[in-house]
Structure 1
Amino acid sequence: MSETKQKWTFEEAMKQLEEVVEKLEEGDVPLEEAISMFQEGMALSKICHEKLETVEKQMDRILHEDGEIEETTFQEEEQS
């Protein structure tokens, strides 16, 4: 992964990921290019995930006055 992509903000990476997804959803992409775009999308997804994890850890530190990190798990809401 290029050094430039690693320095992207969450918003930049998410915008690029959305563009990749849109192009793939159109379905007019040759197979080899689609695979390359899929790999790029996975890399962008990883960047977003890592940035979100970092922010979550920072929020845990902010919310716990003693500085102790308390592990939390998030459950997805059940859809009816």
Structure 2
Amino acid sequence: MSSEAPELNFEQALRALEDIVHKLESGEAPLDESIALYEKGNQLRALCQQRLDAAKARIEAITLGPDGTPAGTTPFDAG
């Protein structure tokens, strides 16, 4: 991955990925450029997934006790 990609936040990486998808779908890029765009897009997709996984791992559900006060936390389960 390029040296600038890890510094992108989720929104920036997603925006860059959307731009790449648009260019690829429009057919405006020659073959060599399309291949390079595809590779960069795949790297950005992986970065976005990494950022989402990290955010998911940080989210915890608060468990309430019988009296309604917080009794602890449990890992997030989107399942």
2:3 aligns to what?
3
Structure 1 runs (4+) deviating above 2 angstroms are 64-70
1:12 aligns to what?
12
Q: Name the amino acid aligned to 1:16.
A: A
Which consecutive residues of structure 2, in runs of 5 or more, have no partner in the other structure? 64-71
Deviates more, 1:28-37 or 1:9-18: 28-37
Higher strand share: 2
Higher helix share: 1
2:37 aligns to what?
37
Q: Computing the radius of gyration over CA atoms, which structure comes out larger, 1 or 2?
A: 2
Q: Distance in 2 between matches of 1:64 and 1:44?
A: 32
1:52 aligns to what?
52
The CA RMSD measured in Å over matched residues stands at 1.7
TM-score (norm 1): 0.76
Which consecutive residues of structure 1, in runs of 5 or more, have no partner in the other structure? 75-80
Q: Distance in 2 between matches of 1:14 and 1:31?
A: 23
Deviates more, 1:3-12 or 1:48-57: 3-12
TM-score (norm 2): 0.77
User: Percent same amino acid at aligned positions?
Assistant: 28
